[in-house]
Homo-oligomer: A and B are copies of this chain.
Amino acid sequence: MTQPLLYFDDLKVGDTFTTGSHEVKTEDIKRFASEFDPQPFHLDESAAQGTFFDGLAASGWHTAALTMRLLVTGGPRLANGIIGAGGGIEWKAPTRPGDVLHVESEVVELIPSRSRPDRGMVVLRSKTLTQRGDVVQELTAKLMVTRRSSA
């Protein structure tokens, strides 16, 4: 069932969204790391032993990118898309091979733009969790969202 498009004016502090899930495979961890974060603990099981991660772990940026994928494909259907100006990110635990991630988001603040009456800033806190309920990442993103009046 397709959800209706959401404008800034449709959102309320406390609104929550839950995405679908995505399994992180060993080969995906290594492929992402080869291109973007080629460090031993993201590339090779043996080399990862005895490091800070003590075992193969996904790059934090891979977890972040997968979080975006989950939000875009199954998070809030924002009218103009999910467009972030920035935010804060915390990696609370490593993402491991075989982890099945999903994202739980909550609107924490709504800031109408003073200079641009056609838009506002939505602060969305997104926790990325494993199938065991462990939070691997917390992202507090500032999203630029179109106002309904401008549509």
Contact = CB atoms under 8 A, between A and B. Distances in A.
Interface of A: 32, 35-41, 51-52, 59-62, 64-66, 68-69, 72-73, 80-91, 144
Contact of A87 (B35, B59, B88): B88
A85 B91 contact: yes
B91 A88 contact: no
Given A87-B89, A89-B89, A90-B85, A66 B36 contact: yes
B90 A86 contact: yes
Contacts of A91: 84-86
Main secondary structure of the interface of A (DSSP, over half): mixed
Contact of A68 (B37, B85, B86, B87): B37
A33 to B, nearest CB: 9
Given A40-B81, A59-B65, 20 more contacts: A32-B65, A35-B69, A36-B66, A37-B68, A37-B72, A38-B72, A39-B81, A41-B81, A51-B80, A52-B80, A52-B83, A52-B144, A61-B61, A61-B65, A62-B65, A85-B90, A86-B91, A87-B88, A88-B89, A89-B89
A22 to B, nearest CB: 11
A80 B53 CA distance: 11
